[in-house]
Chains A and B, each alone.
Chain A
Amino acid sequence: MLEIVIHIALLILFPPLLLGLINKTKSWFAGRTGPPLLQAYFDIAKLLRKGAVYSRTTTWVFRAGPIVSLGSVLSAGLILPLASNVAPLGFTGDVILFAYLLGLSRFFTMAAALDTGSAFEGMGASREAAFAVPAEPALFLSLAIVCIPAKAASFQAAWDALPWALWGGAHPAYLAAAIALFAVMLAENSRIPVDDPNTHLELTMIHEVMVLDHSGPDFAFILYGSAMKLFIIAALLVHVLLPIPEHLSWTGVILLCLGEAALAVLIGVVESVVARLRLTRVPQFLIGASVLAGIGLAIALYRGAA
Chain B
Amino acid sequence: MLGWIGLSIGLLIGSALGAAVAFRADRSSLAIGTAGSILACVTGAAASIAALVSSLEESFLADWPLPIGEIHVGLDSLSAFFLACIFVISGLVTVYGAGYLRPYIGKRRLAPALTFFNLLVAAMVALVIARDGIFFLVAWEVMSFASFFLVTFENDREDVRRAGMTYLIASQLGVAFLFAMFALLGHSAGSFNFDSFAGNVPAGGSLAGICFLLAVVGFGTKAGFVPLHIWLPDAHPAAPSHVSALMSGVMIKMGIYGLLRTLLFLGSPPAWWGALLVGIGIVTGISGVLHALTQRDIKRLLAYSSVENIGIIALGLGVGIIGQSHGNGAVAFLGYAGALLHVFNHGLFKSLLFEGAGSVLHATGTRNIESLGGLYRHMPVTGLTFLAGSLAICGLPLFNGFASEWLVYLGAFQAGSGLPAAWGVTAIAAIPALALIGALAVACFVRAFGVVFLGESRTEAVTGAHEAGIAMRLPMIVTAVLCAVVGIWPAGALRLIAPAVQMFTHAAATTETLESLTAITRIASVLAGLVIVLVLARKVLLRGREVSQAPTWGCGYALPTPRMQYSAASFVEPLLRPFMALIPIRVRRDGPNGFFPVKATYEERLGDAAGERVLAPASRAFIQALSRVRIIQQGRIQLYLVYIAATLVILLVWQLAGVTGR
Contact = CB atoms under 8 A, between A and B. Distances in A.
Interface of A: 48-59, 61, 63, 67-68, 70-72, 74-75, 78-79, 89, 91-97, 99-101, 103-104, 106-107, 110-111, 114-123, 125-127, 129-130, 132-137, 139-141, 144, 147-153, 202, 212-213, 216-218, 221, 279-280, 283-284, 287, 290, 294, 297-298, 301-302, 304-305
Interface residues of B, number: 87
Given A61-B376, A137-B432, A152-B417, A305 B548 contact: no
The listed residue with most A CB atoms (<10 A of its CB), out of B395, B440, B530, is B530
Contacts, number: 275
B578 A283 contact: yes
B438 A136 contact: yes
Contacts of A89: 519, 522-523, 526
B439 interface: yes
Interface stretch (B227-235, B237-245, B408-416): B408-416
Contacts of A51: 542, 545-548
B387 A61 contact: yes
Contacts of B575: 126, 129-130, 133
B552 interface: yes
Contacts of A52: 542, 545, 547-548
Contact of A136 (B439, B515, B530, B552): B439
Contact of B456 (A117, A126, A148, A153): A117
Contacts of A120: 554-555
B404 to A, nearest CB: 12
A55 to B, nearest CB: 4
A74 B438 CA distance: 21
6 contacts: A103-B442, A107-B394, A130-B575, A147-B416, A213-B553, A301-B424
Contact of B440 (A96, A97, A125, A133): A133
A135 B435 CA distance: 9
A136 B571 contact: no
A27 B179 CA distance: 74
Nearest to A50: B545
B574 A217 contact: no
A93 B406 contact: yes
A294 B432 contact: yes
Contacts of B394: 103, 107
Interface string B57-92: 000000000000000000000000000000000000
Ordered nearest first, which 9 A-B pairs have the shortest CB separation?
Answer: A122-B566, A114-B450, A117-B455, A91-B519, A51-B545, A305-B421, A129-B443, A153-B413, A136-B439
Interface in B410-433: 410, 413-414, 416-418, 420-421, 424-425, 428, 431-432
A70 B534 contact: yes
B523 A117 contact: no
A129 B575 CA distance: 7
B483 to A, nearest CB: 15
B564 interface: yes
B413 A144 contact: yes
Given A52-B547, A283-B578, A75 B530 contact: yes
B269 to A, nearest CB: 22
A126 B417 contact: no
A283 to B, nearest CB: 5
Interface of B: 373-374, 376-377, 383, 387, 391, 394-398, 402, 405-406, 409-410, 413-414, 416-418, 420-421, 424-425, 428, 431-432, 434-436, 438-440, 442-443, 445-447, 449-451, 454-456, 512, 515-516, 519-520, 522-523, 526-527, 530-531, 534-535, 537-538, 541-542, 545-555, 560, 562, 564-566, 570-575, 577-578
B409 A136 contact: no
Contacts of B572: 126, 129
A126 B574 contact: yes
Contacts of A139: 435
Contacts of B531: 67-68, 71
A147 B454 contact: no
The listed residue with most A CB atoms (<10 A of its CB), out of B395, B397, B552, is B552
Contact of A126 (B520, B551, B573): B573
Contacts of A126: 566, 570-575
Contact of A117 (B402, B446, B547, B562): B562
A119 B373 CA distance: 13
B381 to A, nearest CB: 13
Contacts of A92: 410, 512, 516, 519
Given A107-B394, A137-B436, A151-B418, A218 B560 contact: no
A221 B534 contact: yes
The listed residue with most A CB atoms (<10 A of its CB), out of B383, B443, B545, B562, is B443
B437 to A, nearest CB: 9
Nearest to A115: B454
Contact of B432 (A78, A111, A290, A305): A290
B416 A148 contact: yes
Contacts of A106: 442
Given A52-B545, A55-B550, A123-B566, A100 B402 contact: yes
A57 B417 contact: no
Given A61-B387, A92-B516, A100-B395, A75 B454 contact: no
Contacts of A114: 446, 450-451, 454-455, 566
A118 B456 CA distance: 9
A75 B420 contact: no
A144 B431 contact: yes
Contacts of A117: 373-374, 454-456, 552, 560, 562, 565
A42 B577 CA distance: 41
B457 to A, nearest CB: 9
Contacts of B398: 104
A291 B443 CA distance: 22
The listed residue with most A CB atoms (<10 A of its CB), out of B432, B440, B554, is B432
Nearest to A282: B574
Nearest to A284: B578
A132 B496 CA distance: 35
A50 B548 CA distance: 12
